[in-house]
Amino acid sequence: MSDIKTIDARDTFCPGPLMELITYMKQADVGDVLELLSTDEGSGADVPEWVTKVGHELLSNEQIDGVWHIKIRKTK
Amino acid sequence: MRILIVGGGTGGTILANNLARRLSAEIRSRKVHITMLSDSDKHMYQPGLLYVAFGQMTPDQLYRDQKSLLEQSVDFHVDPAVEFQIDKERVVTKSGETYDYDILVIATGSRIVPEQIPGMTEGAETFYTEESALKMFRKLRSIEEGTVAVVVGVPHKCPIAPVELIFSLHDYFKARGVRDKINIKYHYPIGRIHTIENVAKWAKPEFDRMGIEYETLFNVKEVDSENNIVRSEEGTETAYDMLIAIPPHSGMEVIEKSNLGAGGWIPTDRHQLTMNGHDNVYVLGDTTNLPVSKTGSAAHFEAEVVAENIASIIKIGTPVRDYDGKVYCFIETGHDSATHAMFDYKNPPDLKPSSRPMHWFKMAYNQMYWTSVRGLL
Ligand SMILES: Cc1cc2nc3c(=O)[nH]c(=O)nc-3n(C[C@H](O)[C@H](O)[C@H](O)COP(=O)(O)OP(=O)(O)OC[C@H]3O[C@@H](n4cnc5c(N)ncnc54)[C@H](O)[C@@H]3O)c2cc1C
């Protein structure tokens, strides 16, 4: 399995966490796991919504001390 | 002390002038030498491209000679970097020269890469280059009816541009008397119509007022220019008569080739703006990997921080400031009104209703930009 790449999108309003994830997803290879860190309250719902709609795999989604940690595997 | 600045755009120019003034005594006594490398002898005011695409500015109004914008003490060369040898503290240029440095600043900006999306280059209009903006204007002048679709690639510079484009399209078609025969359909990559929540909240009723159709969670997968259909990664599609794309962007090729960062985005410290792992290499503007809008305004505020820190390191041995993520954006809301947004790492923007004076201020800024890059504003 490839290393987990962490995307630090804490404290960003623009481009924002989901835009950051989409950027890094494009650079990743199929099978790669990315972990998004976000302090945006909405990320816990927005990010899984996109991941599911586009068809990647949501591995975990938890909020620790105000920071969302969302792990996704690129599937296509 | 040799300071080498690579990139003579918004960030590089503001930095060079600011540093040259702060270090004028050191430059006179030959303790400090500032060199700038760029790949053009011209400097373009890029936000003007949106006006070119609507016939409100001509391309010649967007340019100044780069040398005329720089303090005389800055040693300027039109000789693009072809390789960064960070471990050897030097940069190799197209002419074959080698530039050694004590402090390096990279401000090479970003570029559009529509070729990353199948069919986008052939099928879509855009306004992110001079040539494409002119082509888009010709098409806007001639379209009489049908669907004008707008799609947005990720990442892109000037995140407010998609929204500004919609307001301009609405006003332009209204002025041409064809708005009722043209359907404008906006597509956006995430689940609301703009990435900044407050901008999305403010723009939604405006879009409704103008009768703009919109689809969210739409990441462009391909453009079928034979059948005039654009398809998304999410599995939907839109048929269009004219397609306008904000293309996806990358950093410059030389950044990737020199292994400074995937996609041409250089891993950068959020507050000190140094390249991760290299305290004598600073990164400014679009080419950073920071989660900050790729705007001239971010490049400007970053340049001020870097200038102050480099000067203070030379004078007192330590940096004095942190970058706080500050960005300021005008938002044109049509051809005669505008609003603005200011935010940083911690504070979201608070949008005010749009007004005419704000639009005039933006018009004035289009000229004041040249004073701003000279470091006088
Ligand atoms: C249509 C449009 C509208 C915009 N609207 C706005 C707006 O309203 N507000 C706003 O704040 N921003 C806006 N922007 C964004 C803004 O123009 C950029 O974010 C800003 O210019 C970035 O500054 P920079 O210094 O990082 O890069 P740039 O200003 O792009 O400068 C990069 C420089 O590097 C040079 N270079 C490239 N490669 C090399 C090399 N190998 N060697 C040496 N030099 C090299 C280039 O010639 C150039 O001089 C807009 C951009 C566009 C295209």
The phi, psi pair for B96, rounded to 5°, reads 100, -5
Residue B127 near ligand 1, beta carbon < 6 Å? yes
Interface of B with A (CB under 8 A): 116, 154-155, 159, 189-191, 195-197, 217, 219, 233-235, 248, 262-263, 291-294, 325, 327, 343, 345-346, 348-349
Helical H segments across chain B, by residue range: 10-22, 24-28, 48-52, 66-69, 120-123, 130-142, 161-176, 197-210, 253-257, 296-316, 356-373
Select from B32, B37, B66 the least CA-distant residue to B313. Answer: B32
Indicate the domain borders of chain B: 2-109+252-327, 113-249
B259-315: pLDDT as tens digits:
999 999 999 999 999 999 999 999 999 999 999 999 999 999 999 999 999 999 999
**B346/A11 Cβ within 8 A:** yes
B9-19: pLDDT as tens digits:
999 999 999 99
- DSSP assignment of B83-149: EEEGGGTEEEETTS-EEE-SEEEE---EEE-GGGSTTHHHH-B--SSHHHHHHHHHHHHH--SEEEE
Cβ neighbours of residue B16 under 8 Å, at least 6 residues apart? B5, B8, B34, B36, B70, B71, B74
- How many angstroms separate the CA atoms of B300 and B140, rounded? 33
How many angstroms separate the CA of residue B291 from the nearest CA in chain A?
6
- DSSP assignment of B284-323: -GGGB--SS--SHHHHHHHHHHHHHHHHHHHHHSS-----
Q: Which of B154, B217, B235 sits opposite A19 (nearest CB)?
A: B154
Ligand 1, atom 50, residue with closest C-alpha: B47
Domain count, chain A: 1
Its CATH class, for the domain covering B2-109+252-327, is alpha beta
**Residues B295-309, buried b or exposed e (16+ Cβ, 10 A)?**
bbbbbbbbbbbbbbb
Select from B129, B123, B20 the least CA-distant residue to B70. Answer: B20
End-to-end CA distance of chain A: 16
Q: Assess contact for B233 and B222: CB atoms under 8 A.
A: no
- How many angstroms separate the CA atoms of B268 and B292, rounded? 11
- Give me the CATH code for the B113-249 domain, please: 3.50.50.60
- How many angstroms separate the CA atoms of B69 and B372, rounded? 10
Indicate the pLDDT class of residue B376, thresholds 50, 70 and 90. confident
Can you tell me which atom of ligand 1 is nearest the CA of B43? 49
Task: Report whether pLDDT(A1) > 60.
Answer: no
Select from B305, B306, B240, B46 the least CA-distant residue to B156. Answer: B46
CA–centroid distance, B286 to ligand 1, in Å, is: 7
Indicate the pLDDT class of residue B375, thresholds 50, 70 and 90. confident
User: Which of B233, B292, B347 to mutate against chain A (most A CBs within 10 Å)?
Assistant: B233
- How many angstroms separate the CA atoms of B173 and B241, rounded? 15
Select from B152, B314, B334 the least CA-distant residue to B245. Answer: B152
How many angstroms separate the CA of residue B253 from the nearest CA in chain A?
15
B226-245: pLDDT as tens digits:
999 999 999 999 999 999 99
- Residue A40 C-beta-side C-alpha neighbours within 13 Å: 29
pLDDT number for residue B76: 98
Instruction: Tell me which residue range forms the domain holding A11.
Output: 4-73
Is the model's pTM score more than 0.95?
yes
The phi, psi pair for A6, rounded to 5°, reads -95, 130
**B195/A16 Cβ within 8 A:** yes
Q: Chain centroid to CA B84: how far?
A: 23
- How many angstroms separate the CA atoms of B282 and B297, rounded? 17
Q: Chain centroid to CA B235: how far?
A: 30
User: Would you give the DSSP letter of residue A39?
Assistant: -
pLDDT number for residue A2: 58
Q: Assess contact for B311 and B21: CB atoms under 8 A.
A: no
- CATH code of the domain containing A54: 3.30.110.40
Select from B199, B223, B177 the least CA-distant residue to B342. Answer: B199
Domains B2-109+252-327 and B113-249 equal at CATH topology level: yes
- Residue B225 C-beta-side C-alpha neighbours within 13 Å: 12
Q: Which of B33-37, B211-215, B317-321, B330-334 shows the lowest per-residue confidence on average (mean pLDDT)?
A: B330-334
Cβ neighbours of residue B180 under 8 Å, at least 6 residues apart? none
State the residue for tokens 């947004």: B341
Task: Report whether pLDDT(B206) > 70.
Answer: yes
Q: Assess contact for B131 and B121: CB atoms under 8 A.
A: no
B45-99: pLDDT as tens digits:
999 999 999 999 999 999 999 999 999 999 999 999 999 999 999 999 999 999 9
What six digits make up the tokens of B222?
């391909």
Q: Output the CA torsion sign for B362, B201, B328, B116.
A: negative
